[in-house]
Amino acid sequence: MIEIDTVGGLGSITVDTQQYRGHPPEYWAEKATERICGISENAAPHIKQQAEAFRLSIYNTILYYIKQSINSERCTMKNILAKQGHDDLAKILTEIK
């Protein structure tokens, strides 16, 4: 008989869902910001205030580039569809916001 003792844990697991769409850029910017910039609850108030300002700056930078990436991908897809003769689909893609 073989016995194996293991100790392990997965930590905290969360599931975030949306109905009939994917997550918006703001969701992904927040997730990236959380991974990059954590703020200690025990930090001095002036340090915490500086960290919050830095965190907001990181969030806004990430959000900006995510939105730029989305626009760039849409442009690429629109041009591919138009090049393949699918002007109707390219026009629909252009109108999606």
- Cα separation, 56 vs 25, whole angstroms: 15
Regions in the chain scoring below 50 on pLDDT: none
Q: Which residues contact 62 (CB under 8 A, 6 or more apart)?
A: 28, 29, 32, 33
What is the pLDDT at residue 88?
95
What is the pLDDT at residue 9?
67
What is the pLDDT at residue 16?
81
8 A C-beta contact, residue 61 and residue 69: no
